[in-house]
Amino acid sequence: MYILVALLVVGHCLADYFHPNTTGLRLKHGFETLLIQPYGYDGFRVRAWPFRPPTGQEISFLYDPPLEGFENGTAHGMSYDMTSTGETPQTLRNGNLIVRTTGWGGNAGGYRLAFSRVNADGSETLLTNEYAPLKSLNPRTYTWPGPGAEFRAEFSFSATPDEQIYGTGTQQDHRINKKGSVIDLINFNTYIPTPVFVSNKGYGFVWNMPAEGRMEFGTLRTKFVAESTTLVDYVIVAADAASPTKYDTLQRRLSALTGRAPTPPAFSLGYIQSKLRYENQSEVELLAHNFAARNIPVSLFVIDYQSWAHQGDWALDPRLWPNVSHMSAVVRNTTGAALMASLWPSVADDSVNYAALQAQGLLSATRSGPGTTDSWNGSYIRNYDATNPEARAFLWQMLHKNYYTQGIENFWIDQADGGALGEAYENNGQSTYIQSIPYALPNVLYAAGTQRSVGKLYPWAHQQAIDEGYRNATSTTSHDACPHLSLSRSGYIGSQRFCSVIWSGDTTSVWKTLGAQIASGLSAAATGWGWWTVDAGGFQADPTVWWSGNIDTAEFRELYVRWFAWATFLPFMRTHGSRTCTSQSAYTCANEPWSYGDHNTPVLVGYIRLRYQLAKYLTRVFERFSAEGRSIMRPLYMDFEHSDRNVSALVAGNANFTTQAYMFGPRLLVSPVTRPNVSEWQVYLPHAAEKGRWTYWWSNQTFAGGEVVTVKAPTEHIPLFFLGSREEILSGEVF
């Protein structure tokens, strides 16, 4: 019964599904071994190593077995029933995906891999193969740059000039098609590269490794580099390229391997208020009273960083927050809102927790030197080791005692990037004159390995620490709805499983940055991260723009209102930022809806109220994401590549009409205004085929689609279109 239900859900039927013809093939060729296994529906997992076999303890971000497929609850492990030395070609099939072993230059023998999809008419389409033109470098190469068994690996796959690549985490590059990009696999503030992508050819790919390295999407070659590892591990899955639901199928396949997001707590879909920063208990209680007095709905207030006495205390400073439980009750009783508090992974030696963490070996170190990884406000610090289960338990113990039992049940895990404090340089602003030192980032030593070999694990494990704590505190499992949520500046493969929102980092408050965040969010969606948001208004002023971040200037007020309007149509609606103003310091400048002038206040409040009106629609969209991996933010290619040829062409060139507009769920099209001083906005409305005509939200004017339209767009009217009827959307009906 389980298998039948799973088949019906994913669109296969027992009569036409091709069961895997093997449990796995071990291909040993010279000093190298490959293990190729069918994985989930229409997928294969490939692991490769030279000389020493893996220990079985290597880090993986995949479920074994996947959430959906013919495995019937049986883990694959390292199993296989076929062996080969590459002397003769082999063919493996799982559903509609075939992998063939072939020889050099097409000759006999089989030690290169080629992946093809079986189409509905029985024909085959080559998706990709290991890149091996005549007399070229081997597509799989290993080098040993240092002592020990860890090696550097480079794997290359064929590509075509017209291929379009979506996903790869988030970068500030204004691009949703990553073709032509070179992406370093190292985390820092605003940059969360993640080797998960989908191709318009109809396949998805996961480079299932925690090592730092690089992704290259060249004209004819796609290349992955792992700087230090003991195992290469990747997965490829396929979908019918002719299907209008191709991308939803790929997201379902990938999320079955990497994890499905639970449904979020209901309050989190409302409005989240934050700034840099609310500094004491009285200020937060007054904030709640001000929201109540103005009758503005709000769901979550956030207490940002430096609310503690010392780095690593993981507690509010009692001199500023004398009665946390009372504050929590005031906020809840006054507004109905919850509280969130910031924590950093850093621990200074004057923290109350430093000695215990040091004694128990729960702090990260470095391969050489004294072990410190960064500095902050004049003190040198080390990070707790999120890769160590004991360290994760220690962190949660402090959070539970000092926050959770006092009524603060949601956590902002800032600076979560790993390595140093997540900046792309050291010295972290300690000097006015020396802002960036061109040292290499520290090769941090963790319980799980080095920064180079497992550095990409750190933010994932940090998110895991909070989720584990939630689940233990609430006696829930990972399959249950999220009892609370965390907010993280970084993540990795499968981060969607951890009740954790990823945001785009400390962005600048200028128009160009606003535009970059839209493309970043659409790349996050293609990576599988449905839980994504931004700092509405940007985090910090751009020093080259005189008005940037200043709430008393008309120029920044306009930018803020446009950014805030867009945040209404993100998975989580949130404002935050370090603001400047005429008469106060940055830490005390306001960032509330009434802080941007009498004219703009009702506009901002109107967007907040619209967000709550969409609650049923949002709830249903999140439910679909949880059950099927169906994206919430939907780049136009996801829904209209087949019904509108123009969409594919526009995406290929990263045209503004496709990098700055998207579907929010299946029925709303959003095109945020990303330029100043405009009252009209051009939008490309795709041909929607059987889904009907487009209706402009603010005027009820209808359009056929397949055309560029110009609509009125004052600050109170973000360009917003819908399919079907407004009543259906407000009642929560989705296609």
- Residues forming the active site: 414, 506
**What is the gyration radius of the CA atoms in the chain, in angstroms?**
26
Measured CA to CA, the distance from residue 572 to residue 536 in angstroms comes to 11
Alpha-carbon span 222 to 215, nearest angstrom: 7
Give the 3-state secondary structure percentages of the chain, helix then strand then coil, rounded to 5: 25, 25, 50
Which H, E and C letters describe 491-540, residue by residue? CCCCHHHHCEEEECCCCECCHHHHHHHHHHHHHHHHHCCCCEECCECCCE
Of 348, 276, 202, 260, the residue nearest 624 (C-alpha): 260
Across 43-145, the runs of DSSP E, i.e. the strands, are 43-50, 82-84, 91-94, 97-102, 112-118, 124-129, 140-143
Name the DSSP class of 15.
T
Query: Which three-class secondary structure state does DSSP give residue 616?
Result: helix
Angle of helix 554-567 versus helix 511-527 axis, rounded to 10: 10
Pairwise CA distance, residues 311 & 381, whole Å: 8
Are the CB atoms for 292 and 335 separated by under 8 Å?
yes
Please answer whether residues 37 and 30 qualify as being in contact, where contact means their C-beta atoms are separated by less than 8 angstroms. no
Closest to 512 measured CA to CA, from 728, 630, 660, 402: 660
**What are the φ/ψ torsions at residue 522 (nearest 5 degrees)?**
-70, -30
H or E element that contains 619: helix 615-628
Sheet holding 25-29, edge to edge: 82-84, 25-29, 32-38, 43-50, 232-238, 203-207, 192-199, 165-170
Q: Is the distance from CB of 649 to CB of 641 less than 8 angstroms?
A: no
Distance, C-alpha 719 to centroid of its chain: 25
Residue indicated by tokens 């963790």 = 446
- Residue 396 near residue 428 (C-beta atoms within 8 A): no
Count of Cβ atoms closer than 10 Å to residue 704 Cβ: 12
